[in-house]
Amino acid sequence: MTAATSCSESNPFYGGYKTPHEVPPFDKIETQHYLPAFKEGMAQQVEEVDNIVRNAQQPTFANTIEALEWSGKLLDRVSAVFFNLNEAETSDEMEKIAEEITPLVTKHLDNILLNEELFSKIETVYRQRAELQLNLEQNKLLEETYKRFVRGGANLAANDKNKLREVNEKLSSLMLKFGQNLLAATNAYKLVVDSVGDLEGLPASLVEAAATGNNTWEFTLKNPSVMPFLQYSAKRNLREQIHNAYANRANADEFDNNAIVAEIVNLRVQKANIMGYETFADYVLDDCMAKTPRNVYNMLARLWTPALRKARYEAREQQAVINRENGKNTFLLQAHDWRYYEQKIMQERYTLNVEELRPYFTLENVRNGIFTLVEKLYGVQFTPVTDVPVYHKDVVCYSARDVNGDFLGLIYMDFCPRPGKRGGAWMTNFREQSFRHGKRIAPVISLVCNFTPALGNVPSLLTPDEVETFFHEFGHGLHSLFSSCQYKSLAGTNVARDFVELPSQIMENWAFEPELLALYAKRYDTQEVIPAHLVEKLVSAQQYGQGFKTVEYLAASWLDMDFHVVKDSAKVNVQEFERAAMGNIKLLSEILPRYRSTYFSHIFAGGYSAGYYSYIWAEVLDADAFQQFKKKGKTFDTNMGTAFRKCILERGGTEDPMELYKRFSGHEPDIAPLIKRRGLE
């Protein structure tokens, strides 16, 4: 313990958390605690690394690799809380701290990865690995540690190391600013409606949620507001307004991200070149299942042709509806029309209205459905926990216990939008699973979403898309909760990026299985189980619109890859680059990529640069894997559940992901089940 620690005992990050299950003491953490804890955490880890370097004994797995693995405990604690809350519950103060601390943490981590004496010891152990008699996981930790240092620049010449430090520091600050701009731009826009006539077509629940109490209604760019507006508003001019605002977020004015994107792309080219790679995509993919940009492009191309064909067919269908309804006053289908006419066709063809379904998908019901599924597949039970602190009054916590009663971990759930929360949905960790001194350290995880909130006496009613999102994120949660790994850096979701989506996406397959729907989809006001005819409509309609969904996703994946195969470090003109990239693949003008450049936070503020393809890559795996369950003819096959848990969910990143997958399925994945599921034959 350093002097700074002993003088600041009131800081809740110092020492062990004295809370149930040693969760973060959110009720005691204040913004002024973060900076001192970050600085002290970095100082402690510097001292721990120095102790490894100064150790006069021969480098061993224990005194070098394991010692490094367990270093930085305080820094891990404060980082987990701060960076997670800066996404889920930020403020002006938090953003200022992030701007100050992000480059400092980046510099600190670079100092470790570029420490020549430390790397020399790691390299010594690595070269002796054949004689060390390490077990499977120890050997993997050694390999990953050595690889992390090499990929972090440890083998570079001194001049290149300095260049890399500078690039990394700039990138970390730019990515932070990108996310701040996007959140601010999203929060800044409101479509104000002051005429009852302009509410035509909108569901009553949406109108009520938008009411200001002053004879006006405000619609925002948050998904629970903008998406149903685009689906149901009969006012084409208003659909165009809000759609254009959504599609041009952070694309102008004070929150403009164009220059930031250009500089990020530029710096990533420089980083790739410093590291000896031709492009940033080559650098990133070298550590993924896909391995090369060519493999990614080949996979995208194989899906693009049938998806584009399906989308063109859907566009023709929508244009026919427009022509039929408008006669001589007809118009050409535009991007702001797509969701509206898709919904019309769904109602016409399947007599299915999403608003018909939502009363059966209360947030509580869907949560109970997920709990039921997990109990039937894996024997795990979830119970509410009320004696732990939470970071916001709307956050709830559950304990997960195995079939034999063993404690698996805690899961926080944070469901609805608010101004300080970024958009989207994600799973994260406040503590990774590990083993210390023979004792399992249980994970503490969090699911953060932006679902349709409750309104008055009506509970939160989810759309089918939101239901799938909940199942998806819970799958990530299971990956962490079931983790049974010795080392935190290999535990849970610490796997190859194009493998990490398998546990989440396979969960989506059960969301609308009739047998499970019968157990959880109950109408909120009458408790009536969802009728068989609605289930039949929902299942029948699942393939409709897959042309649009697949094309908008693949277009974003293509855009991501194109940005990261750039070889010239000169700045790109972001809007011209995007137009050219979409023109090259002949994207329909009526469809935008799922994320345009200035709000593509997955790749410019998150960890999916040259990796957005991962979702569809993993969907090939999950479609193939789900076939293994379906072959048994059971919705809830406990034997298959056990196999998936043992082969995939428990193993984290302890082995090559393809080997883990083949151990479960008995073969390499086939793309055919995905193409069939999406109706792209």
Q: Which amino acid is at 332?
A: L
Cα(481)–Cα(409) distance, integer angstroms: 6
**Side-chain half-sphere CA neighbours of 649 within 13 A:** 25
Give Dmax over CA atoms of the chain in angstroms.
88
Q: In this structure, is the dihedral angle defined by the CA atoms of residues 627, 632, 635 and 640, taken in order, positive or negative?
A: negative
Tokens 């600013």 correspond to: 177
How many CB atoms lie under 10 A from the CB of residue 205?
A: 17
* DSSP labels, 547-580: HHHHHHHHHHHHHHHHHHT----SPP-HHHHHHH
The helix-helix angle for 657-665 and 614-631 (nearest 10°) equals: 20
Cα(537)–Cα(348) distance, integer angstroms: 12
Cα(13)–Cα(254) distance, integer angstroms: 36
What is the CA angle 174-412-226, rounded to 5? 60
Backbone angles phi, psi at 501, to 5 degrees: -85, -5
How many CB atoms lie under 10 A from the CB of residue 14?
A: 21
Cα(219)–Cα(305) distance, integer angstroms: 36
Spatial contact of 449 and 414, defined as CB atoms under 8 Å apart: yes
Task: Retrieve residue 492's tokens.
Answer: 């849970």
3-class secondary structure, 529? strand
First to last CA, the chain: 63
How many CB atoms lie under 10 A from the CB of residue 3?
A: 9
| Distances in whole angstroms, Cα of residue 428 to Cα of each of 143, 217, 448, 460, 611 | 25, 34, 8, 23, 18
Task: Retrieve residue 534's tokens.
Answer: 């609605």
Q: Which amino acid is at 376?
A: K
What lies within 8 Å, CB to CB, of 514 at 6+ separation is 532, 535, 539
Task: Retrieve residue 299's tokens.
Answer: 């996979």
* Residue among 248, 254, 188, 182 nearest 218 (CA): 188
* Residue among 627, 135, 84 nearest 390 (CA): 84
Spatial contact of 278 and 269, defined as CB atoms under 8 Å apart: no
Task: Retrieve residue 150's tokens.
Answer: 């090499």
Task: Retrieve residue 51's tokens.
Answer: 């102790």
The one catalytic residue in 144, 473, 501, 619 is 473
Q: Is 473 a catalytic residue?
A: yes
Spatial contact of 261 and 604, defined as CB atoms under 8 Å apart: yes
* Residue among 535, 541, 540 nearest 521 (CA): 535
405 by Cβ neighbours in 10 Å (0-12 / 13-18 / 19+) ranks as exposed
Plot region of 153 (φ>0 → left; ψ -120 to 50 → alpha; else → beta): left
Cα(613)–Cα(564) distance, integer angstroms: 12
3-class secondary structure, 657? helix
| Distances in whole angstroms, Cα of residue 222 to Cα of each of 199, 398, 425, 605 | 18, 27, 12, 18
Backbone angles phi, psi at 522, to 5 degrees: -125, 135
Cα(648)–Cα(664) distance, integer angstroms: 7
**Among all residues, which ones are annotated catalytic?**
473
